[in-house]
Structure 1
Amino acid sequence: KLSENAGYGIDKILGWEKLTGKTVTFESDMLISTVTYPLASTKDSRNAGENSGEIEKQSTRERLIALIKENPRITRASLSQQLGISSSNVQFHIERLKSEGIIQRVGSPRNGHWKFPSE
């Protein structure tokens, strides 16, 4: 059972590079393995520090909106894969956008599409 789970999540680890543009490094010896996730650089270094988490959220939010605009019928699973984030994180951002009135779901969950009421 341990060997079955040994490789679980490697695809998500490697997704870090897609998400941030930075390469994850692996170092290992007989006793310990280390995985290093370099932080993504922010475009505006003046806002680094306390607001860096907020910048990342805005970036994910902007990319989410752009993907929905490109394909209003896009699924949450596809958004999760393309953004390199979990489906629950996609759900969080979508719920927030819906509550702010930025996006709206039209039709059924299976056959519906996203709409931007302000456009």
Structure 2
Amino acid sequence: MTEAQQGHNKILSLIAEKPQISISALAKQCEVSEKAMRITLERLKAENVIKRVGASFGDIWKSFYRLLWKQNNTNYGKENDK
């Protein structure tokens, strides 16, 4: 598994634990800058792995990695599906 995939899995795990987690909290937990986290999240959104749902205040992250992994046999969330 590549370093990027490990990073994506960590982000997805954090989102699964706390769907309302902020970008700054994700960045801090993953030990990256907020800018780097925003770029990564944009990539995951573009790949339809995650999306932000709700009003501008109190919105949550939704993760579709289990569905995508089953459909596309990707590595997203592979450890969490066991």
The two structures have a TM-score, normalised by structure 2, of 0.71
Look up the match of 1:112. Answer: 59
Offset of 1:116 from its aligned partner?
2.5
Offset of 1:57 from its aligned partner?
1.2
**Which deviations, in whole Å up to 9, do the C-alpha atoms of 1:45-72 show, x marking residues without a partner?**
xxxxxxxxxx211111110111001100
**Which deviations, in whole Å up to 9, do the C-alpha atoms of 1:3-24 show, x marking residues without a partner?**
xxxxxxxxxxxxxxxxxxxxxx
Percent identity over the alignment is 32
* Distance in 2 separating the partners of 1:109 and 1:90: 19
Among 7, 15, 22, the residue aligned to 1:68:
15
Verify: 1:79 aligned to 2:19, yes or no: no
Matches within 5 A, 1:1-119: 55-117=2-64, 118=67
Q: Indicate the structure with greater helix content.
A: 2
Offset of 1:109 from its aligned partner?
3.6
- Secondary structure of 1:95's aligned partner: helix
* Distance in 1 separating the partners of 2:30 and 2:39: 13
**Which deviations, in whole Å up to 9, do the C-alpha atoms of 1:22-61 show, x marking residues without a partner?**
xxxxxxxxxxxxxxxxxxxxxx7xxxxxxxxxx2111111
Q: Which runs of 4+ in 1 moved over 2 A?
A: 116-119
Structure 1 unaligned regions, length at least 5: 1-43, 45-54
Offset of 1:108 from its aligned partner?
2.8
Residues paired across the two proteins, number: 66
The two structures have a TM-score, normalised by structure 1, of 0.51
- Per the alignment, do residues 112 and 56 of structure 1 end up closer, same or farther by CA in structure 2, a change over 3 Å counting? same
